[in-house]
Structure 1
Amino acid sequence: MAYVVRKPGSTISEAQIMEIIAKQVSPYKKIRKVAFINAIPRTPAGKILRRDWLSMLYLLPTILQADDIKLTLKSKLIPKSTNSAEMPSIDLKQFQENISNHFRPWQRSFQFWVRAADIYTGYKVFQVRVSFEKDVEKAEAMWERQHEHAADKIYSMCYDMGGFFLKNSDCVFLKKDFNLYALLDPLSYKLIWVVLNEYIVFYYSCLWSSASIAQVHRARLKGDKKDVVVKVQHPGVQDLMMTDLRNLQTFALCVQKTDIKFDLFSVCKEMEKQIVYEFDFKREADAMDRIRSFLSEINKKTVVKVPRVIKDVVTRKVLAMEYIGGIPILNLKDEIIKRGINPDGKLAAAAKQNILKSLTLAYGQMILKSGFFHADPHPGNILICKHSEVALLDYGQVKELPNLLRLGYANLVLAIADNDHIRASEGLRELGIDTLSLCENERAELFKLAQVMFDTKLLPGVTILQPFDEDSSIKKIAVQAFPEELFSVLRTVHLLRGLSVGLGVNYSCAEEWRPLAEEALYFSGRLKDEDLKSRNRRRRRFFRRSSGWSK
């Protein structure tokens, strides 16, 4: 969003400004909204007064009310009316808002299907065009341009519609400079006093970040000098996301019958289940405590930082936790340059590798050792602290794998790490992934499919995954049934792959998780002593302990 001060006599419009800027910036940096204001507060030297500017942005106060939250507003900017003789009148604005809310699901559905049809038909027409191109390099270049063109449309849809599409945009955009959350408009208020249980009071000092389900404030407990973070749920966002998910489920059914031979409907059902959990902040607080305790118990040194919950200040729609300082992983390159370090040099590369190593170790321990894991490692949930330490935020999406599924996945990890095609095929069947071969070299393609789904390493010569490409594994091996319980693992691996692409580090999480997978199978009795000893112990990169394993 852009705030613009017109020159005296200027009649420039919002559309003209957006058109001018669009010609000078990349598509994802285009302005989506313009607001005209009278002035921007500045010093006599012309420097913007940031505090006064932020005060202007939060000038209009809003009272948020939820089940067990009481939000009380204090502001001298808007005085209350004391004229008791005023005649009651119809609130036309409220009436219009009620009508709009009633038809909003239909409006969102219409917007989704128009945009989805446009993107889908664009790919179908392109497939016909590219089939006439015999030069492989030219065809790849055409695919790249088509993906860029479609990405612009998907980006616009995610930003304009928000809701579920905004939340899952990180699964689509792997480049680090795609950050839709930074463009979100915050809830408008300057001062809010939150009264919980009639005796706990917070003062909101500043907005920290805004996301699809909630916005986060850096605050201070009254009478305490330590900063805390308070997460407040957006009102009415749950109904919005349920509408989006129902539309996506229908679209998934259509696509899996025509183009992508993958059980997308089961994936959408699992997404629906997980999204519902995210609206219960009490559940999130319990998950945060559980993962924090687990990681601290099994590691002598902190692998990733997990915020500590403020126990007395947790409701279904408000969550308070300790403040952890750091920079978003999306800003890592800028921070490296700011410190005078070559972003492509050895020092920067080592820092990036340490960051990925910490994240990969933490996720390997959570998935393979505990079975209970944080299932949303998108860039907005990762902070980089001092000495390249990593903090993992937002525990709304967590998943607990059944024991058999956890051990089955450990077996598949070993198969991928060992490049064992036979074991990989057996591992997919053990996990309940039902496939149908549409090619001659079934075993090799099954192994390649397992790598694409459950390993972060990109294959030689591959820079981007293309499910519509005729040579893609999904075109050659149809996935007729995919267990819903396994979707969170699939999503986590793909988000880790996105992080590695953004950081410029191509690595295999299966190889890094090999020792953890071995021990998971060993302590369950599925791997014998002689099998464990026969493996090359020099490949064990991670510190491991026998305590804390799920039996």
Structure 2
Amino acid sequence: MLPPLDFKDIQEKFSSHFRPWHRSFQFWVRTADIYTGYKAFQLRVSFEKDVQKQEAMWERQHELAAEKIYAMCFDLGGFFLKVAQIVGKPDLAPAAWVRRLVTLCDRSPATPFTDVQLVLEKEFGRSITEIFERFDVDPIGSASIAQVHRARLRGDKSDVVVKVQHPGVQDLMMTDIHNLQAFALYMQKTDIKFDLYSVTKEMEKQIGYEFDFTREANAMERIRHFLYENNKKPPVLVPRVIRNMVSRRALVMEYIDGIPILNLGDEIAKRGIDPGGKIAAVAKRKILESLTLAYGQMILKSGFFHADPHPGNILICKGSEVGLLDYGQVKDLPENLRLGYANLVVAIADSDPIRVSESYRELGIDTLSKCENEQLELLKLAETMFDTKLPPGVVMLQPFSEESSIKKIAVQAFPEELFSVLRTVHLLRGLSVGLGINYSCAEQWKPIAEEALYRAGRLKGKDIKPRTRRRSFLRRL
């Protein structure tokens, strides 16, 4: 006699099999709608000669597209929340996009508690009540790959954070990335003269690592050790891993108390301080300096760095201390790229176009130019790609406008390994613009870069220009 059919099980298998196909269909239909909308608009706006009317038309078009991009990212979730974080930056995307997409931070639908409990009990081999004295059912936040809960371990006095992976999320995210790679190939052949495909390949590699929380725990410990050992006071706070509570899909770590950086303005106003005043500006600059110092040390001294400083991963704690969360995306730069990038940082800080050109060749960034002032445009391109400071009078970069360096100089090849540095710098620039501070990470990083080059035997003490802020490094030399 045949066993009875389990229709619920059949329905779930059918749904899981066709979900990737459904997501692909949704992506291409929506992307084609947004893209063709812009192409048709470009033709329409070309007939309007009045500059002010053109700008108003562009603003309406950006608002229309922003709603469509928001709807796609919100409905599909997962990987597209990461896309929203990258695209929705105040220095890069149209203002209408930024206003809409910034609200998507940590907006992934939460996994039901019953499923969270099953994952935890399977990963740790014990029931939740055996492990935890208290476990908050509602998550603190839910992102594309995992969600986090506040809890307290049995016999402990301090709270912890429990990170739990969403079941079945890996296959869906890989489908999304492969669709994006196909679109990137099309865009770089038609509209954007930049090696977008290499960028998406590096994204695929980096995001693939995020599904292993044991790797994340090791990365968190390594970065915490480096920053705490190399500074009297670490520039950022890094959570401590609870070592016997780590598995591939679950991770328990120290709870750091703070407010998300996106809520900083509201918190300052609550305390009766003018968010646009001098006191607030000093606090914001201190926060930005702490964060960029940590990244300068990680990238240029260690080569091993946290590669995802989007606002959802940054907490502001007591005394304007900065907490840096989520070590799923980290990068270990090869030595040649670390030193090549150090050379580029010095070149940007010194506004040295010849050294920029040499650094590009050393890094394997292949460019093609037909413009007259090639070296000057290369310097502008380097500043656009690898520094956080905006040019005088500019409040928002438009890298794909006809006047931008990236239109005048085609980037034919870009090393995948360097994408994480590029993305990190752009996220830091987004934070500086969001905080209202025009700030150069290249200028702050120059002494760290010079020290890295000196220790590698590529720079002599006499080649380092003595400035007051570099006395400590010169004293060490």
Aligned to 2:321: 389
Aligned to 1:417: 349
Q: What letter matches 2:251 in structure 1? A: L
- Are 1:187 and 2:118 matched, yes or no? no
Aligned to 2:425: 493
- Out of 217, 225, 230, the position equivalent to 2:149 is 217
2: CA distance between counterparts of 1:526 and 1:100? 58
- Out of 82, 97, 103, the position equivalent to 1:167 is 82
Aligned to 1:325: 257
Distance 1:91 1:316, change over 3 A: same
2: CA distance between counterparts of 1:464 and 1:164? 26
Distance 1:314 1:507, change over 3 A: same
The CA deviation string for residues 460-512 of structure 1, in whole angstroms up to 9 with x for no partner, is 33333334421122211111000000000000001001111111111111111
Aligned-CA RMSD value: 2.3
1: CA distance between counterparts of 2:351 and 2:155? 59
Aligned to 1:301: 233
- Are 1:538 and 2:468 matched, yes or no? yes
- Structure 2 residue runs without a partner (length 5+): 91-97
2: CA distance between counterparts of 1:277 and 1:293? 21
- Are 1:114 and 2:46 matched, yes or no? no
Distance 1:129 1:426, change over 3 A: farther
The answer to whether the 8 A contact 1:282-1:316 is kept is: yes
- Are 1:281 and 2:222 matched, yes or no? no
The answer to whether the 8 A contact 1:456-1:509 is kept is: yes
Q: What letter matches 1:411 in structure 2? A: N
Higher mean displacement: 119-128 or 348-357: 119-128
The CA deviation string for residues 66-97 of structure 1, in whole angstroms up to 9 with x for no partner, is xxxxxxxxxxxxxxxxxxxxxx8644333222
Q: Secondary structure at the match of 2:410?
A: strand
Matches within 5 A, 1:19-98: 90-98=5-13
Aligned to 2:71: 156
Q: Secondary structure at the match of 1:179?
A: helix
The answer to whether the 8 A contact 1:382-1:392 is kept is: yes
Q: Secondary structure at the match of 2:131?
A: strand
Aligned to 2:136: 205
Q: What letter matches 2:131 in structure 1? A: V
Aligned to 1:441: 373
- Out of 273, 276, 281, the position equivalent to 1:341 is 273
- Out of 100, 105, 125, the position equivalent to 2:15 is 100
Q: Secondary structure at the match of 2:323?
A: strand
The alpha-carbon deviation at position 333 of structure 1 amounts to 0.8
More helix by share: 2
Q: What letter matches 1:517 in structure 2? A: A
2: CA distance between counterparts of 1:544 and 1:367? 21
Distance 1:513 1:141, change over 3 A: farther
- Are 1:355 and 2:287 matched, yes or no? yes
1: CA distance between counterparts of 2:415 and 2:360? 11
The answer to whether the 8 A contact 1:159-1:180 is kept is: yes
The alpha-carbon deviation at position 136 of structure 1 amounts to 4.6
1: CA distance between counterparts of 2:471 and 2:61? 40
1: CA distance between counterparts of 2:339 and 2:418? 12
Higher mean displacement: 258-267 or 454-463: 454-463
Aligned to 2:95: none
The answer to whether the 8 A contact 1:307-1:324 is kept is: yes
The alpha-carbon deviation at position 295 of structure 1 amounts to 0.3
Distance 1:182 1:286, change over 3 A: closer
The alpha-carbon deviation at position 445 of structure 1 amounts to 1.3
Aligned to 2:94: none
Aligned to 1:511: 443
2: CA distance between counterparts of 1:118 and 1:438? 33
Q: Secondary structure at the match of 1:513?
A: helix
User: What TM-score results when the alignment is normalised by the length of structure 1?
Assistant: 0.79
Quick one: percent identity of the two aligned structures?
Answer: 71
Distance 1:306 1:173, change over 3 A: same
The answer to whether the 8 A contact 1:512-1:541 is kept is: no
Distance 1:214 1:544, change over 3 A: farther
1: CA distance between counterparts of 2:180 and 2:434? 27
Q: Secondary structure at the match of 1:474?
A: helix
Aligned to 1:292: 224
Q: What letter matches 2:363 in structure 1? A: L
The answer to whether the 8 A contact 1:435-1:479 is kept is: yes
The alpha-carbon deviation at position 425 of structure 1 amounts to 1.3
Aligned to 1:52: none
Q: What letter matches 1:400 in structure 2? A: D
Q: Secondary structure at the match of 2:113?
A: coil
1: CA distance between counterparts of 2:46 and 2:408? 17
- Out of 272, 281, 302, the position equivalent to 2:204 is 272
2: CA distance between counterparts of 1:464 and 1:140? 15
Distance 1:226 1:526, change over 3 A: same
Q: Secondary structure at the match of 2:162?
A: strand
Higher mean displacement: 118-127 or 213-222: 118-127
- Structure 1 residue runs without a partner (length 5+): 1-87
Distance 1:135 1:447, change over 3 A: farther
The answer to whether the 8 A contact 1:410-1:518 is kept is: yes
The alpha-carbon deviation at position 423 of structure 1 amounts to 1.0
2: CA distance between counterparts of 1:468 and 1:373? 29
The answer to whether the 8 A contact 1:515-1:542 is kept is: no
The answer to whether the 8 A contact 1:192-1:204 is kept is: no
The CA deviation string for residues 253-292 of structure 1, in whole angstroms up to 9 with x for no partner, is 0000011000011111110000110000000000000000
The alpha-carbon deviation at position 545 of structure 1 amounts to 9.5
Distance 1:237 1:284, change over 3 A: same
- Are 1:126 and 2:29 matched, yes or no? no
User: What TM-score results when the alignment is normalised by the length of structure 2?
Assistant: 0.91
The alpha-carbon deviation at position 339 of structure 1 amounts to 0.9
The alpha-carbon deviation at position 369 of structure 1 amounts to 0.5
- Out of 398, 402, 407, the position equivalent to 1:466 is 398
Aligned to 2:180: 248
The alignment covers a number of residue pairs equal to 459
2: CA distance between counterparts of 1:198 and 1:544? 56
1: CA distance between counterparts of 2:385 and 2:278? 30
